[in-house]
Chains A and B, each alone.
Chain A
Amino acid sequence: MPEVAYHAVALDTLRLVAADDLIFAYHRASGITHLLAPPAPEILNILAEAPMRADELLVQLAALYDLADGDLAMLVARLDELIAAGLVWRA
């Protein structure tokens, strides 16, 4: 049984404004404003290109961004937050 993959909203559905280290994101489809701090913007960037499993995402994050070695459990927790926020979903 294929493991579930994470999908993210297309980046053009977000209105993004950067200030200091933060990104303010207005999600047009939901009307919700999010404050995104690393690794959330990086996760969204990667998943917006292509959906993938959590373990693959972990590898991509380490490769593309200089993110300190997180563990899978922490990544899944971040992804759960993004799911609750409506920016990511599992399929």
Chain B
Amino acid sequence: MKHTHQLRIGPVGFRIGSDWAAPIAQLKTLYRDYPSPHGDIADFNVRLFATRPWRRLVRPSVMIGGDYILPEAAPLPLAQGLLAAEMAMNLQMALGQRRYLLIHASVVERDGRALIMTGESGAGKSTLAAMLAARGWRLMGDEFALVDPTTGLIHAFPRLVSLKNKAIHVVSAAMPKGRFGPLLAATPKGDIQHLVPDARAIAAMDQPAMPALLLFPNFGFAPAIRDVGAGEVFVRLTQASTNYVAMGERGFTALTRLVREIPAKAIDYPDTGAAMTAVEQLWTGL
């Protein structure tokens, strides 16, 4: 592979190879303050490649490869190469992570305790995490919560925060000093722009936190808060986990501990302001 880069996000090291220079250059820029993989040995490998040699130049489209792949995945245009790299790294985690239980969630930390926000795509997890970070919470991640089955602690995975459509404007307005990646227009998921986690999030990426509150946010409704029962929490968390089955009994241990020890609430919210008010209210009441 002609163009390569290695980086570490939290405990996970990646080696990324590409047939084109541009995506690697973008990764190097945006992830410039991130460390290398531990011992320079990556946990996962990602490849951005052209389907045929001439497709490197003619109508270049990026196929995603790596240790773990989805065979039916469609390629992306080269202009969205950065998105392809991010998707590929997520895929390695989703399919290959075995040390930590993964929950599809965003996580922020305050005073050594973690707030976990999980839910469907579009529930606003990334936006809320970014906005809370702007308010002084430490960003631990916007895609995966990493749960250590032995200790129950949440480990940070602060990759680039993926903001879509309206969220781009909301967050960039709230974070005028934020570092953002290029605007990727008209991707399969709409407009996407990445926010680089702030210096504090990067510096603290190896500090885990005790989970303290689990939230199921629901965007686009009048404000409401309700308790979520243990059975529902368990089922929703297994649905939100890509590696629960593969983790076996350790996954069960990690998940049941979360269900039994952490309060879980569903919050409906009409806008991020209302959500943050609810978060502060619930956090204070812990």
Binding site for B on A (CB under 8 A): 15, 17, 19-22, 24, 26, 28, 31, 33, 35
Contact A17 B260 (CB under 8 A): yes
- In the bound complex, what is the Cα–Cα distance between A82 and B248 (angstroms)? 20
Contact for B252 among A21, A22, A33, CB less than 8 A: A33
Q: Does B235 contact A (CB under 8 A)?
A: yes
Q: Does B249 contact A (CB under 8 A)?
A: yes
Give the residues in chain B near A21, CB-CB below 8 Å.
Answer: 231
Give the residues in chain A near B175, CB-CB below 8 Å.
Answer: none
Contact B249 A26 (CB under 8 A): yes
Given contacts A24-B234, A33-B238, contact A19 B249 (CB under 8 A): no
- In the bound complex, what is the Cα–Cα distance between A15 and B249 (angstroms)? 8
Contact A24 B229 (CB under 8 A): no
- In the bound complex, what is the Cα–Cα distance between A52 and B252 (angstroms)? 31
Contact A19 B234 (CB under 8 A): yes
* Most A CB within 10 A of own CB, among B230, B245, B248, B260: B230
Given contacts A20-B229, A24-B252, contact A35 B260 (CB under 8 A): no
Query: Given A20-B231, A24-B259, list of 16 further CB < 8 A pairs?
Result: A15-B252, A17-B256, A17-B260, A19-B230, A19-B234, A19-B259, A19-B260, A21-B231, A22-B230, A22-B234, A26-B249, A26-B252, A31-B248, A33-B238, A33-B252, A35-B231
- In the bound complex, what is the Cα–Cα distance between A35 and B235 (angstroms)? 9
- In the bound complex, what is the Cα–Cα distance between A39 and B200 (angstroms)? 52
Give the residues in chain A near B252, CB-CB below 8 Å.
Answer: 15, 17, 24, 26, 33
Q: Provide a sorted-by-A list of 13 A–B residue pairs whose CB atoms are within 8 angstroms.
A: A15-B252, A17-B252, A19-B230, A19-B260, A20-B231, A21-B231, A22-B234, A31-B248, A33-B238, A33-B244, A33-B252, A35-B231, A35-B234
Binding site for A on B (CB under 8 A): 229-231, 234-235, 238, 244-245, 248-249, 252, 256, 259-260
- In the bound complex, what is the Cα–Cα distance between A19 and B259 (angstroms)? 8
Contact A19 B231 (CB under 8 A): yes
Contact B256 A19 (CB under 8 A): yes
Nearest residue (CB) in B for A17 is B256
Give the residues in chain B near A22, CB-CB below 8 Å.
Answer: 230-231, 234
Give the residues in chain B near A33, CB-CB below 8 Å.
Answer: 238, 244, 252
Give the residues in chain B near A15, CB-CB below 8 Å.
Answer: 249, 252
